[in-house]
Structure 1
Amino acid sequence: SAAGFMSGGIFNWFDSPYSFSSAVVTINYDGTVELHVGAQEIGQGSSTTMAMICAEALGVKLEDIKVHMGDTDHSPADLGAWGSRQTLMAGNATKMAAEDAKRQLLEFANAKLGYNIIYDLDIKQGWVYNVARPERGISYYDLCKEALRGKEGQRIIGRGFYTPRRKGMISPAYSYMVQGLDVEIDPETGYIKIHESVTAHDCGQPINTLGLIGQLEGAASMAIGFGYYEYLPVEDGKVMNPNLVDYKLIRAPEMPNCQIIEIDTYEPEGPYGAKEAGEGLTNPHAAALGNAIFHGCGLQMKEAPIRAEAIAKAWKEKNLKEKK
């Protein structure tokens, strides 16, 4: 096994004085919501996560949210999908934009329903209600129609901007993880079979649980490839295995059974307590594999990927040394 940690929303390292994310939430006449974020969906599930954060903050149904990502003509600025920053950075901006739109809508509801202060009201699952008397309220969808009529056709637009300045030297939050591997080793050939991968990951409060599991299993696959399979020899500036026949990737039959242990904590800097989950898990995998090899046959392998040829060579040298 091995442990590691990872920034959960790393600061900007490019030509900008600080890191930031921004979002815009627009409530339409029919109650549907347009969420514009500059962050980009690259397969990690951030579009679903942003929609879930927006729906929770605004108090509407998830199916009412339509997400627009990466459209530089209409979306606000964002510094990109890197450094495990999407959930924490763009998630905070989305939450702030949704809360701004909600405040504007409740101001109209407050005037219509005649309560003393806006804080008497809330929205949940499409129902705008008095907190003290939840049965007293109005349909969110009806309120949206009346609000737009009252605003002379102008839609409600909420804006959010988040930057974690003065919240740490590199990152406003950190994630911690432990990786264990059950490994079968044939030291004479260097063959390794990973039977089981057990991951414990401190990921704050999970928002998109299915996406979280996918991220962690995907990280395990990527890290096992880095630790054992993906050897890239270069001679005189030329890659010697520039194809997928010679450059070995881990395949589905070679993936071990993955057990995911979610360590639910609360990150005060993250939206609803969430933070990084996924990329950080690539850190301890190769070290865990090296420790498993040492535990199994006493070989200390210190370079990744740990190639079968290197294991077999080290085993032969170890035996020769012991015979002397």
Structure 2
Amino acid sequence: MTNYYALWIPSYQEEVPTIQRDKLDEVILRDIPGSDTIRLKGEIDRTSFNIHLCYQINKAEWNHLYFICTDRQQTDGFIFYALEMEDHETETDFVRSRLSENLPKSIYHYFKEFFHIHSLHATGEDSLLPVYHSKESIGWNNDQTRKSVITPIIKAYTDKFDGFYRQGRDNLQQCTTAICQNREVTKNIHNLRNLLHDGYRVKREMDYCRFILDKHSEVLDEELLTRIEKAYQNFLTYYMDLDFWFHAYLDTINFSDSKASKKWGITGGLLGLLSILITLFLEYKPSKPDTVREQLLKADSLIQVKQDNMSEKLEQLINSYRPDTIPHAVSDKNKKTKK
């Protein structure tokens, strides 16, 4: 019995999948329920693109599988493999049984590491993409076959954009509400930054999705094309709102910090200038021998008055400036600017 698999190596330009590494580190599978510990290690032949996969279940001996590369596309990043197994093997071996039904996403993701450089996103961001499995040889020139291969990939992207949009929209609302109410402002601005970082990675994944859509949209249903466009536009709207509010609140905090720093700087300068003037006054002002004590007492009184005055102003400044809040006037103004 032979199983056939169509693996898409995410790309955003026309190219034959290029081998980036010919040997992968050992990993432990995490997504196969009902099994014990399964370890993988693999290597690829740079000439034939054939993959030698070794796996171990618990502490048993290592088993070997040989995936034969049957074709690789130059224009869209697809690569095709065949795996031959005896029927009795699938009945006694859990891994072979699963492979006879489909290629688990964890193994697919492991294979992609031979070829794929995560230039637009972090490792693992594309691990939810499905792989196509068939009991018959895959004819890539057949429109129905291409539809069967491409449709699950576009659906996965649609679900991903929809999920980030819906969850992100709620998170954005929670953060902006808390900031406007002067609750944990610094923490929530950090949360906005993290959401923006995650959103950026998802946004860059649209480059991959757009590439495969441009190549194969003619075989996809109009309903799915409408869904993916709507999902991405919703996500993009959320991402632009997120970017706006993060930088708006960040600028507000920076502005408050700047004003406070200037006040502290001016205050320090005034204290320094006052000390110099008093020193000059005491050192150079003519005085009679019998009035020196009187002048010193007056100078001490002047210093004390000025210090008390400065301390009072500094205390008012400290009390009025709380690093983890935004002045209500500024916050209210920002709320009114959102359209």
- Asked if Structure 1 and Structure 2 have the same fold, meaning a TM-score greater than 0.5 normalized by the shorter chain, the answer is no
Per chain length, whose mean CA-contact separation is higher, i.e. which structure has more relative contact order (CA < 8 Å, sep 6+)? 1
TM range (shorter): under 0.3
**Normalization by structure 2: what TM-score?**
0.24
TM-score normalised by structure 1 residue count: 0.25
Considering fraction of residues, name the structure with more helix.
2
The structure where strand makes up a greater share of residues is 1
| Structure having the higher Rg | 2
